[in-house]
Amino acid sequence: MERTYTLTISCPDRVGIVAKVSNFLAMYGGWITEANHHSDLQAQRFFMRHEIRADSLPFDLDAFRTAFTPIAREYEMEWDITDSEIKKQVVLMCSKEAHCMVDLLHRWQSGELDCDIPLVISNHEDLRDLVEWHGIRYERVSVTPDNKPEAYARIEQLIDEVNADCVVLARYMQIIPPTLCQKYAHRIINIHHSFLPSFAGAKPYHQAWERGVKLIGATCHYVTEELDAGPIIDQDTVRVNHRHVASDMVRLGRDVEKAVLARGLAWHLQDRVLVYGNKTVVFN
């Protein structure tokens, strides 16, 4: 794949932002291969994502940051620039269910997910053989009501050891403590087996069956201190009817979960997700 730099910007909306950024890139010969813009009229906020051919610019990322900083200050930008050659480090976390983990490992091994996966953390041993068959380190950290501070201190240490850019909860059935939610804000991705905000918490498919819904779904979102209420990255649904029992909904929902989590992670890795407040702009 062609090496690119990805520039992402979020700032107060005003006239001239696109022209200013485009003129800056053109001044240095920057070749834009993809451009995305969005203006939130209610929030009065502007969002931008540009992919730029790396070989068209005369400098590296450090020099880009130095040259671009005056513009960022002028327009009060929250911004970042990343290099497609520097793979993001992703830590996966799981419990006993394998479907999301299997799907992500397959997509990673086939090159569909452009990242490194140096580590999988679990509170059980069930998926060790699967993960180690892929040549990935597997660490079990048991979490009980009596050892949560120690367990999550160990998990934090493991995440930091591999310099993780992103943590994915691939059906990790434990609640992440507020301290880690804050430390890794907008870097922990969860798949919830419900079309949030409906049926948050435990056993959502059973809740849906009891309610008699005709659509069930899954939600990929960033983890925050409030359970199952973080900024939503992606969602999808599947139709059900009166003939389906709760176990059918679990079976059907697993396929939706896999697809939604994979899309959400891929967009995050490609810097396509910009967060503001408790919402996201996704340039997919």
Do 19 and 64 share a domain, yes or no? yes
Query: Closest Cα to residue 269, out of 62, 88, 116?
Result: 88
Do 128 and 265 share a domain, yes or no? yes
Do 79 and 102 share a domain, yes or no? no
Enzyme catalytic residues: 228
Do 171 and 221 share a domain, yes or no? yes
Residue ranges of E strands in the chain = 4-12, 32-40, 45-53, 78-83, 88-94, 115-122, 137-140, 166-169, 188-192, 215-222, 232-239, 273-276, 279-282
**CB of 191 within 8 A of CB of 171?**
yes
Q: Which pLDDT band, with edges at 50, 70 and 90, does 23 fall under?
A: very high
Which range marks the domain in which residue 29 is found?
A: 4-83
What does the pLDDT average to over 88-112? Answer: 97
Q: What CA–CA distance (Å, rounded) separates 114 from 142?
A: 30
Asked whether the whole model's pTM tops 0.85, one would answer: yes
Whichever domain contains 50, its CATH number is 3.30.70.260
Which tens digit of pLDDT belongs to each residue from 214-229?
888 899 999 999 988 9
